[in-house]
Amino acid sequence: MKRLLVLSVAALALPLAAQQQKAPAPTSTPAPAPKQVALVNGEVITAEKLEYMWNNLGVQMRESYTQAGGKPAFLENYLRKRLVIQEAIKTGFDKRPDVATDMVAASESALFDRYVRDIVAAPMVSESDIRKYYDEHPDEFVQPERIKVRHIIITAVQQGPGAKTKEQALERIKGVAADLMSHHMELRNADPDAASRLRLIYFADAARKFSEDASAPSGGDLGWQPRGALDPVFEEAAWHLQPGMMSGIVESKFGYHIIMLEEKAPAGSMPYADVRSGVREFLLNQKASDIMTAVNKLTNELRMTSKVTLFPENIK
């Protein structure tokens, strides 16, 4: 989406007891367990958390991730961040006084930003304002024709524990392709919908086991890609596939690929629900001066009505 800028509001600142009687058996169906998208050293990352983090990305950042593989790429980056955080906690780094102080400051800053954006600035941009902008600027929300694609890649590497020649890389991916093709043959008489799902499962499993790039943990998922976003040789092969089809071995400058096309989507407009938050941030950015005035008014009122004691002699 063009021209949408994310507003940084920070810049504006100054055991129950057991019951005696036996409880009746529940009659309602228990809520389903949260869907997991990852498990990091025992720490569960739920689909709900991933969706929340994804929806709260800035527009430009989300578009960058979309070009690089979508939510799977974002999740992979987040998992790497969590691993570093886990390591920091494990070593007690978070208990250092200076680090703890920074963590408190970051928490306060986040709370201030969200309160100003969601409460103080809320009356300045209404739902009708957001919808009006969306309806009056259709060119900004054009979505090109796209494909949702997965791949398995084996690469020749000259050094390191995974070193192999191009010939060895080719032989390895031939083995993967032969195994996948045998599964496809087994499913040739199966129900089409069930066969399509199983082919995807087999392909994703093979990508996790054998593929040699960052998309491997997500089953080779490269997300939704418009024309021109991928390597030309890879793209030529991918766009000629039909949904549910798998390519033969494709050689690009990055290595040897097997490609699976999941879906194709025609060109159209980005749904309002997908862009609403970005439009709101853009409109809030146009109201920066008004928001600053509102924040200053609020802080002046709070300063006058609150009990604040200063100790200047202790300020060094």
Q: Are 285 and 5 within 8 A, CB to CB?
A: yes
CATH architecture assigned to 145-266: Roll (3.10)
The full DSSP string for 192-237 is: HHHHHHHHHHHHHHHHHHH--STTGGGTTEEEEEETTSS-HHHHHH
Instruction: For the chain, give every domain's residue range.
Output: 34-141+276-304, 145-266
pLDDT in tens, 232-269: 999 999 999 999 899 999 999 999 999 999 999 999 99
Q: Are 246 and 203 within 8 A, CB to CB?
A: yes
List the chain residues with pLDDT less than 70. 1-31, 59
The predicted pLDDT at position 239 comes to: 95
**Model confidence pTM above 0.95:** no
The predicted pLDDT at position 27 comes to: 54
